Amino acid sequence: MKTALVWLRNDLRFQDQNSFFKACQDFDRVVAYFSFEPKDYVDLVWGFQKTGKFRTHFLLETLHSLKAELLEKNISLIVETRSAAEGIPLWMEELKASALFFQEEWTKEEKEISNAVCNRLSDSMDIHSHYDQFLFHPEDIPMEIEQIPQVFTAFRKKCKKYSKIRSCFAQPKVLDKLSLLEETPGIPLLEDFGFSPFEQHSHSVFPFKGGSLSALEHLQNYFWNTKRLSYYKQTRNGLVGTHYSSKFSPWLANGSLSARMIYWEVMRYEKEVEKNESTYWLIFELIWRDYFKYISLKHGQSFFHLGGILKKEYSWNSKPELFLKWVEGKTAEPFVNANMIELKKTGFMSNRGRQNVASYFAKNMLMDWRMGAAYFEQQLIDYDVHSNWGNWMYVAGVGNDPRDRKFNIKLQAERYDPKGQYQKLWLQNTLFE
C-alpha cells in the first residue's frame, strides 16, 4: 500500500489544505501526524511558561474535532508529545511511508524542527513542503521577499493591484477504509501538560470551541445568519460581547480555517448580500495578517531582537515587580488593568485592548517589549507568531509604524469605553472572585 505521512503544524484542517489534497491524489493510504513540541512547554527566561492552558485547551479541542473529521475520510491521526524530529522518522519507517508532506515554516524554532525532521529521513524519501498559510501566495506577490515594503500601505496597494488570491483547493478524494490504522496514540489530556481542567469564564467574548467544524459554523452565523459582516467596520473596536469583531483569529492561528476560505466567502457575500466598507475592511485585516508574515520572512531573527527590524536602541527595563503589576492588572490605568484581567482569565483580548496594553507596557512603563510579547504568546488562544511579534514591534517603535505612536490611554478609554461598561465588567467582577 503506497503510504504518505502528512505532518500537521498550523494547518489543522482537511478542507482547503495543500498537504491532504496532494497526498490523497497520489497515495493509497494517508496518515496524519501532529506533535506537541516539548520546546513549546518550557519555562522562559522571564519566569513563565511558553504555552499556557487556554491555547493548549483550544488546540486539544481542535485535534479532537480534526480526528473525527479525518476518520470519516479514512485518514488516521497520530498525536504525540515527543518532538516531531523523533516521532516522524520512526513512524515513516513503521508505516513504510515513502513521502512526507508538510507546511513550510521559516521562524527559527519551527525551521530547526523542520531541518531536524528532514535530516533524519533517508535520501530516498520524497519530501514535499509548501507555503499554505498566506492570503497572497509568495509565488504570486509582485515583488521579491527582500523588497517587501517597510510600510503596510505600499504592500497592500501593490498586492491588491498586481496579485490574485488563489482558489481554495478542491475537496480531497476519500480513501479506502482499509487505509485506516488499527490503533493510534490517544490525544493527551490537559492534565498531561500540567494544567488543571477549567470552566470557561462566564464573561468570555470567545465562547467557541476549537476545530474546523466550529469555525465554519461561526463563519456561517457571522456572515449569513446574522449579516454581522455588514457592520464589521463599525463594531470591530468594541470590547464587550461575542460579536463586536469577527473572532476568526483563533481558528486562523492554528489553521482550522484558511485565509483563502474567508476571502472567497466575503466575495460571495458581496455578490449575494452587499459590498461595503465592512466587507472591504475584513479583507484589509487579512492582508495585515499576511504582511506580518512577509515581514518575518524578510527579516528573520531580527523580528525577535530587542531593537526589532529597525535595530533601534531604547532604554528598556525588565523589573519583575513592574511586569507583575502589568500582568495582574494593577497598574495606574484602569483601562489597561481591565484588559489584562480579561486576558488572564479568558485567554482573549480585543484588538483595541492589545494595542493599548502593549503601548502602555513599552512606552509608559518602558519595559522590554519582548517580555510582553512572550506573555501574550503564553496566554492568547489566537497566538500567531508573526502577528503577535510583528504587532508588538510596531507598537514598541521598533517595527513597521513610521510614526512611532504612543497611545493616550485615558483618551482611548473615554472613546472606546465611554460609560465604563467594560472596565466595570472586569474590575468589579474581580473584586468578588
Pairing type for strands 76-80 and 29-35 reads: parallel
Least confident of 197-201, 301-305, 354-358, 399-403: 399-403
How far is the C-alpha of 8 from the C-alpha of 100, rounded, in Å? Answer: 11
432 falls in which pLDDT band (50, 70, 90)? very low
Residue 359, classed as helix, strand or coil, is helix
At 415, give phi and psi (nearest 5°).
-75, -45
397: left (phi over 0), alpha (psi -120 to 50) or beta: left
Q: How far is CA 248 from the centre of its chain?
A: 10
How far is the C-alpha of 376 from the C-alpha of 45, rounded, in Å? Answer: 15
Query: Which grid cell sits at 321?
Result: 515587580
Please state, rounded to an integer, the average pLDDT across all residues of the chain.
Answer: 95
pLDDT value, residue 433: 47
The strands making up 29-35's β-sheet, listed across from edge to edge, are 76-80, 29-35, 3-8, 99-103, 126-130
Which candidate, 253, 190, 259, 322, places its Cα nearest to that of 17? 259
| Beta-ladder partners of 317 | 367
Total residue count of the chain as it appears in this document: 433
Q: Which amino acid is at 60?
A: L
Least confident of 58-67, 82-91, 371-380, 421-430: 421-430
Q: Which amino acid is at 209?
A: K
| Element holding 344 (H helix, E strand) | helix 334-346
Residue 10 has pLDDT above 70, yes or no: yes
Q: Which amino acid is at 343?
A: L
Percent of the chain with pLDDT strictly greater than 70: 99
70-90 in b/e form (b: 16+ CB < 10 A) is: beebbbbbbbbeebbbebbbe
Residue 430 has pLDDT above 70, yes or no: no
Residue 60 near residue 81 (C-beta atoms within 8 A): no
Q: What is the pLDDT of residues 43-99, one digit of tens each?
A: 998 889 999 999 999 999 999 999 999 999 999 999 999 999 999 999 999 999 999
Residue 311 has pLDDT above 80, yes or no: yes
Q: Which amino acid is at 153?
A: T
Residue 107 near residue 385 (C-beta atoms within 8 A): yes
Residue 431 has pLDDT above 60, yes or no: no
Residue 17 has pLDDT above 50, yes or no: yes
403 falls in which pLDDT band (50, 70, 90)? confident
How far is the C-alpha of 276 from the C-alpha of 279, rounded, in Å? Answer: 6
Q: What is the pLDDT of residues 20-38, one digit of tens each?
A: 999 999 999 999 999 999 9
Instruction: Find cell 515513502 and name the residue.
Output: 98
pTM: 0.96
Residue 14, classed as helix, strand or coil, is coil
Tell me yes or no: is domain 133-167+212-300 CATH 1.25.40.80: yes
pLDDT value, residue 429: 60
Which candidate, 22, 90, 13, 21, places its Cα nearest to that of 259? 13
pLDDT value, residue 237: 95
What DSSP state is assigned to residue 196? -
pLDDT value, residue 315: 87
How far is the C-alpha of 390 from the C-alpha of 288, rounded, in Å? Answer: 10
Q: What is the pLDDT of residues 144-188, one digit of tens each?
A: 999 999 999 999 999 999 999 999 999 998 888 888 998 899 999
Which candidate, 391, 350, 394, 396, places its Cα nearest to that of 369? 396
CATH number of 305-431: 1.10.579.10
Percent of the chain with pLDDT strictly greater than 90: 92
Mean of pLDDT values over 333-357: 97
How far is the C-alpha of 331 from the C-alpha of 326, rounded, in Å? Answer: 6
Query: Which grid cell sits at 171?
Result: 475537496
Residues with Cβ within 8 Å of 328's Cβ and at least 6 positions away in sequence, in order, are 340, 341, 344
Torsion angle defined by CA atoms of residues 262, 268, 269 and 275, in that order, rounded to the nearest 10 degrees: 110
Mean of pLDDT values over 384-388: 97
CATH architecture of 1-132: 3-Layer(aba) Sandwich (3.40)
Using CB atoms within 10 Å of the CB of residue 400, give its burial: 0 to 12 exposed, 13 to 18 middle, 19+ buried: buried
Q: How far is CA 277 from the centre of its chain?
A: 25
How far is the C-alpha of 339 from the C-alpha of 321, rounded, in Å? Answer: 19
How far is the C-alpha of 326 from the C-alpha of 341, rounded, in Å? Answer: 9
Residue 53 near residue 45 (C-beta atoms within 8 A): no
How far is the C-alpha of 305 from the C-alpha of 309, rounded, in Å? Answer: 8
**Per-domain residue ranges of the chain:** 1-132, 133-167+212-300, 305-431
What DSSP state is assigned to residue 167? P
pLDDT value, residue 160: 94
Give the N- to C-terminal CA distance of the chain in Å, as an integer: 58
- Number of Cβ within a 10 Å radius of residue 394: 23
